[in-house]
Structure 1
Amino acid sequence: MSSIPVQVISQRNIEPDIASWLALDLIDGLGDESMRCLLATFGSPAAILSASMTSLERVVKRKVADNIIGGADPQKLNASLKWLEDPQNSVITLADPDYPALLLHIPDPPPLLYVKGKRALLNAPMLAIVGSRNATPQGLSNAEAFAEAASNAGFSIASGMALGIDAAAHRGGLRGRASSIAVVGTGLDLVYPASHRKLAHELAERGALVSEFPLGTPPIGSNFPRRNRIISGLSRGCLVVEAALQSGSLITARQALEQGREVFAIPGSIHSPLSRGCHALIKQGAKLVESAGDILEEFGCPSGIPILVPEGGEAAREEFLLLKHLSHDIIDVDTLCLRSGLTVETVSAMLLTLELDGIIASLPGGRYQRLR
């Protein structure tokens, strides 16, 4: 029968019960469903780890039972316990009163969550915001704006720290008062993608990073769709900003629906592949939203989200006359010249000024898109 070596937990302020949970989580081949069955049968991780082969085989396959008898890898367990010595790091188990209440009601709640940052946020009102990794400038702008408004209204923003919409949602959430939470598909001792190291640090300091995967878990492709059920499960609703028809964001939206959560989608251009996923969701019953107020109203919150409108003579500047010919769809210079009747030189100069002001974005191939 396996046990946790005394030297592993000595001289550390780690409860033996937490050490047992970590040890159980590190057993090869033991999935979440089997772990929940074992817990229901034996009552605690310590009881599971000290059970006989015969009793274990009544619940799990012989190979898994054999792995439980063999125990967790001492080096991996030691690394996990050392990680917990940092006051910023913690573990939340199914037996913990701090376990997220909403997550308890999904079909397959993770038995154990690793948390870096403010664990109390996991029980705060939350809105999931997801979307394409290859987002347009307008999509990124929308994600940040919606996230910041929802955060200021009291909703922490949950997303997956991926490139594109996820990262923009986290940035907006961090700017608001309710912050943001990243549910990742690796162990919390890794940052993926590596380019998000600064964002991960900000989330750990002012929000939280969450994972169901043990430390050292690399970025395995199958882990990312799996973690999506936690993103939606923690949240009262899920907003999809931009998504192609085969986007992983639609997996999150589908899981949100299965979990009884509200699903929202921002419509886009009929010509954009990144709008098709959102349009498909709307056809299937997702709520079309044009502002953060639309989402907040659904949750019974005040809809008076302030919209900042520049004062003064902005409309009088001649480059702003071009805006009536420049919609949020992507457009090229030649088309703008035809619509406005202006020369290429004049249009190019106006576009440069508008881009410097952050009102439009320059895209590859001499194309442009209005941001606001």
Structure 2
Amino acid sequence: MKLLVTGGAGFIGSAVVRRAIAEGHQVVNLDALTYAACLENLAEVDDNPNYTFLEADIRDRAAVDRALADYTPDAVMHLAAESHVDRSIDEPGAFIDTNVTGTFVLLEAARAYWQGKGRPNWFRFHHISTDEVYGSLGPDGQFTEDTPYDPRSPYSASKAASDHLVRAWAETYGLPVVLTNCSNNYGPYQFPEKLVPVTILNALAEKPLPIYGDGSNVRDWLYVEDHAEALLLVVQKGQVGRSYNVGGENECTNLQLVQKLCGVLDRLCPRETPYNELITFVSDRPGHDARYSIDPTRIREELGWRPSVNIDEGLMKTVQWYMDNETWWRALQNRKGVGKRLGTPV
């Protein structure tokens, strides 16, 4: 396939690009290179003849139109988004601007392109979203594709809005879309503001390991390479108009996750005292969702996909990658907000 990937210099987007190139697809990566983007994530494909990078903003209709006209993709995989909940608490406007308005602009450009091609049935608009649009679960139950939306943060509300736009463009204009909603991703190349890389890098620097509240918030953890595999499967074989929940089948509390990371670090980079002694509980995030849990039955039964990496193997791989790639993460330490507490209670 010829794929136009938005946000391909980000964490998940770059994993998709790398895997797509490895599978023999042609990829055009359209990215505005905002604070969390990193072209070094794509060094291994930079010289590949099937890879092209375009620095452009999804809100720039003319730039998106040119990309579609010049490269005539078979599918758009839309990953470009503001994605950090804490930042959305401090700067909600940026999330509305990129995630809602940007998705609208991209949908209109894709619709014009698709209509100009004669409405081909081979075209796909794949919108990549999050399980956070469903809100917060109690101690039991799981999110399915039919779970009502109940977003609780500016980030999840902006992603819910973009999901609704995509479905509306499918219903109103017939645009052939597929959607995916994923659980928490982790793995190599994750920007150092999320829980896993913050814990690893703070531990290596022997700094406190911050955990919000009492650490009881539950997440399902999905290794990013597994997610990339699932996304490429959905864009090729997913049913038009269908949404698919993509989960890692690795549910644990934030405290358990950090304790697992400490155990890995104790093995790979031992210090005089255990790393878990660095754990520090801090004031909770406003509106912190209690629990997310994905039911991945649909993608398993319809497309035959299941995650291949369990949480223990994935965390081992991730810690080792950060230990082996200090040059990569050192270069990001001075970017806006890195190393600072964001989204503090008001």
Q: TM-score, normalised by structure 1?
A: 0.34
Structure with more contact order per residue of length (Cα contacts < 8 Å, sep ≥ 6)? 2
Q: Rg bigger for which structure?
A: 1
